[in-house]
């Protein structure tokens, strides 16, 4: 893009939404100020979310795989975990990546201000700098990218270092003997898996009837089965009615029809029951920005708020609260500011849960199709029939395509299995390019790889998959 603009813009919040927006704005020739309290851009994702958790999940996978290696005739000794080295490795990863973003920011001549912003009016921000001092700065446009924070539950409020949110859990202060994870969603299952691999007895309590309530049940089933082996217990349809600090633990009371043990003491408790948007920005009431009943800032398809000078992107504007959605929105907002004809209207936003096995999906889900009474055909390829999956000793996976029976267009893709998070990108491309099941079936995939399961699920749709025998009817 060769277009330049002499606009002066501010981005409030330096996460994957904010820095992607700031960098593109600079690339388009705008003068950009990026405001965030951290030393470098990165936000929750890099400092206290996606990145440190994935570093730890990588270690967890290694520990689990070393255990599984017994089945392959390779017997490793019990792992010895040096917690301070593990912590410093994780911190090193964060430092490297956030430092890199700081460099990219300087190279693009983005003014990075370490501080907190408040609105004086629609175009003026009062920035309180970390080192002290305040600046009043005026811009043509402002992009709000303030993200979200862990949701707090009144019954789980307890001032104790043993009570953790995701940030506390990622700090990895110790390897507790026992841990209760409240909430069987993304964070609970990812961080619960990390602690379980490090040797903690982990119990997950989920108020709904299944783990990962947003995902199709057939994708969750293989994960649930593996977690049952890894974890101490998975309590479904159960909530926590009270927590009390007691001696050297937290006494927890459970509530639910199937509860067998009403009270139990845990060394630590991780609360991961969702996130809340950070829309309580000081001075926002001095602008025309509107905030909806759930706390999300209201925006149109160009990510513009009800105040024409202010745009908002990422977790603060709504679900799904995912870094890649935020980055894409950030780029759309900047292009809209630059005067390009753009809109945020993706057909597929991938979701990935980085457990083992990973669960990933994009586009339409079966649950959603059912809810909308939409007719679809589902083609499933079991990984037991994948050569690559069997060589990895991971035959429990499954790949499925959701196809429109009339047009044969691919509407959704769901994958559970090792590496599903990488594989799902092909599904996103297929959906965004309006691929037909035939296109996917006719694209030669490398052998032996797990990617073949996507091609073969398209073959399953036509009843002609090489590795799945379907007896002829009649
Ligand atoms: P979540 O929405 O994924 O899961 C919260 C779970 O807690 C749900 O299953 C819900 O039913 C349950 N719950 C709610 N109240 C409860 C209660 N009182 N008792 C028991 N269970 C209760 O939320 P999260 O795990 O906190 O993660 C927040 C968000 O962060 C996610 O929705 C996601 O957008 C994002 N995130 C993404 C990734 C990723 O992309 N891999 C990883 C971590 C977080």
Ligand 1 touching residue 236 (CB < 6 A): no
Ligand 1 touching residue 183 (CB < 6 A): yes
Rounded CA-CA distance 267/200 in Å is 10
CA atoms within 13 A on the CB side of 314: 32
Ligand 1 touching residue 184 (CB < 6 A): yes
Rounded CA-CA distance 204/238 in Å is 10
Write down the pLDDT at residue 5.
64
Rounded CA-CA distance 369/371 in Å is 5
The residue-averaged pLDDT of 451-462 equals 98
Per-residue pLDDT tens over the stretch 124-181: 999 999 989 999 999 999 999 999 999 999 999 999 999 999 999 999 999 999 999 9
Ligand 1 touching residue 185 (CB < 6 A): yes
Ligand 1 touching residue 417 (CB < 6 A): no
Whether the predicted pLDDT of 94 surpasses 60: yes
Find the catalytic residue in 324, 340, 445, 447. 447
Contacts by residues 418-423 (CB-CB < 8 Å, ≥ 24 positions apart): 418/356, 418/357, 418/358, 418/389, 418/392, 418/394, 418/450, 419/358, 419/450, 420/352, 420/357, 420/358, 420/359, 420/360, 421/352, 421/354, 421/358, 421/360, 423/360, 423/399, 423/450, 423/451, 423/453, 423/454
Whether the predicted pLDDT of 217 surpasses 80: yes
| Residue 445 appears among annotated catalytic residues | no
The percent of residues in the chain predicted with pLDDT above 90, rounded, is: 97
Q: Which atom of ligand 1 is nearest to the CA of 238?
A: 20
The angle subtended at Cα 49 by Cα 48 and Cα 51, nearest 5°, is: 100
The residue-averaged pLDDT of 371-397 equals 98
Ligand 1 touching residue 186 (CB < 6 A): yes
252: helix, coil or strand? strand
4 pLDDT tier (thresholds 50, 70, 90)? low
Per-residue pLDDT tens over the stretch 324-354: 999 999 999 999 999 999 999 999 999 999 9
CA of 213 to the centre of ligand 1 (A): 9
Write down the pLDDT at residue 472.
77
Residues 6+ apart with CB under 8 A from 352: 358, 359, 360, 420, 421, 424
Per-residue pLDDT tens over the stretch 262-300: 999 999 999 999 999 999 999 999 999 999 999 999 999
Rounded CA-CA distance 229/370 in Å is 31
Residue nearest to atom 12 of ligand 1 (CA): 183
Whether the predicted pLDDT of 61 surpasses 90: yes
Q: Which atom of ligand 1 is nearest to the CA of 151?
A: 26
Q: Say if CB 312 and CB 305 are below 8 A apart.
A: yes
Rounded CA-CA distance 124/139 in Å is 6
Residue 140 backbone phi and psi in degrees, to 5: -75, -45
The residue-averaged pLDDT of 381-400 equals 98
- Of the candidates 19, 305, 276, 28, the one whose C-alpha atom is nearest the C-alpha of residue 145 is 19
CA of 187 to the centre of ligand 1 (A): 6
The residue-averaged pLDDT of 81-100 equals 98
Ligand 1 touching residue 207 (CB < 6 A): yes
Write down the pLDDT at residue 2.
45
The percent of residues in the chain predicted with pLDDT above 70, rounded, is: 99
Instruction: Look up tokens 């936003």; give the residue.
Output: 349
- Distance from CA of residue 173 to its chain's centroid? 23
Q: Say if CB 83 and CB 172 are below 8 A apart.
A: yes
Whether the predicted pLDDT of 228 surpasses 50: yes
Lowest mean pLDDT of 149-158, 307-316, 353-362, name the range: 149-158
Q: Count CB neighbours of 387 within 10 A.
A: 14
Write down the pLDDT at residue 83.
97
Q: Say if CB 207 and CB 239 are below 8 A apart.
A: yes
The residue-averaged pLDDT of 173-201 equals 98
Write down the pLDDT at residue 391.
98
Q: Which atom of ligand 1 is nearest to the CA of 323?
A: 40
CA of 399 to the centre of ligand 1 (A): 24
Q: Say if CB 40 and CB 99 are below 8 A apart.
A: yes
1 pLDDT tier (thresholds 50, 70, 90)? very low
Rounded CA-CA distance 320/360 in Å is 14
Average pLDDT along the chain = 97
Q: Which atom of ligand 1 is nearest to the CA of 275?
A: 28
Residue nearest to atom 24 of ligand 1 (CA): 274
pTM of the predicted protein model: 0.97
Whether the predicted pLDDT of 238 surpasses 60: yes
Ligand 1 touching residue 315 (CB < 6 A): no
Residues 6+ apart with CB under 8 A from 117: 10, 12, 35, 125, 126, 127, 128, 281
CA of 272 to the centre of ligand 1 (A): 6
471 pLDDT tier (thresholds 50, 70, 90)? confident
Write down the pLDDT at residue 474.
62
Strands of the sheet with 358-363, listed across from one edge? 351-353, 358-363, 410-417, 398-403, 377-382
The C-alpha R_g of the chain, in whole angstroms, comes to 24
Query: Using the 8-state DSSP alphabet, how is residue 278 labeled?
Result: -
């Amino acid at each position: 893009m060769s277009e330049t603009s002499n606009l002066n813009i501010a981005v409030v919040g330096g996460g994957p939404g904010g820095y992607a927006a700031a960098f593109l704005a600079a690339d388009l020739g705008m003068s950009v100020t990026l405001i965030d309290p951290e030393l470098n851009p990165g936000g929750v994702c890099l400092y206290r979310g996606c990145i440190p958790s994935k570093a730890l999940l990588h270690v967890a996978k290694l520990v689990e795989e070393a255990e599984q290696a017994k089945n392959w005739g390779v017997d490793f000794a019990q792992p010895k975990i040096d917690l301070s080295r593990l912590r410093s490795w994780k911190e090193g990863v964060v430092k490297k990546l956030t430092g890199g973003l700081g460099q990219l920011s300087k190279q693009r001549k983005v003014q990075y201000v370490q501080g907190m912003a408040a609105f004086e009016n629609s175009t003026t921000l009062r920035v309180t700098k970390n080192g002290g001092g305040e600046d009043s700065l005026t811009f043509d446009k402002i992009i709000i990218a303030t993200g979200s924070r862990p949701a707090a539950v009144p019954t789980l409020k307890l001032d104790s270092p043993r009570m953790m949110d995701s940030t506390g859990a990622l700090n990895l202060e110790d390897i507790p003997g026992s841990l209760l994870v409240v909430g069987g969603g993304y964070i609970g299952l990812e961080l619960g898996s990390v602690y379980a691999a490090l040797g903690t007895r982990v119990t997950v309590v989920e108020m709904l009837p299944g783990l990962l309530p947003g995902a199709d049940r057939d994708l969750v089933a293989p994960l649930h089965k593996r977690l049952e082996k890894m974890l101490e217990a998975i309590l479904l349809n159960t909530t926590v009615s009270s927590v009390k600090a007691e001696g050297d633990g937290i006494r927890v009371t459970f509530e639910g029809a199937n509860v067998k043990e009403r009270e139990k003491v845990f060394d630590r408790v991780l609360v991961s029951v969702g996130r809340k948007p950070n829309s309580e920005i000081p001075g926002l009431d001095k602008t025309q920005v509107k905030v909806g009943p759930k706390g999300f800032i209201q925006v149109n398809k160009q990510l513009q708020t009800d105040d024409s000078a202010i745009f908002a992107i990422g977790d603060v504007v709504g679900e799904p609260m995912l870094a890649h959605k935020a980055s894409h929105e950030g780029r759309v907002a900047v292009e809209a500011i630059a005067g390009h004809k753009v809109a945020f209207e993706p057909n597929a936003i991938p979701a990935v849960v980085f457990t083992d096995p990973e669960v990933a999906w994009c586009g339409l889900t079966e649950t959603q199709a059912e809810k909308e009474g939409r007719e679809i055909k589902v083609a499933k390829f079991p990984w037991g029939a994948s050569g690559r999956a069997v060589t990895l000793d991971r035959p429990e996976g499954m790949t499925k395509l959701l196809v429109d029976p009339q047009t044969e267009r691919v509407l959704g893709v769901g994958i559970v299995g090792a590496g599903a998070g990488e594989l799902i990108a092909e599904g996103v491309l297929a959906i965004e390019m309006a691929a037909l099941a035939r296109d996917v079936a006719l694209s030669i995939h490398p052998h032996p790889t797990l990617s073949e399961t996507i091609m073969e699920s398209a073959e399953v749709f036509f009843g002609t998959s090489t590795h799945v025998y379907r007896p002829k009817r009649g």
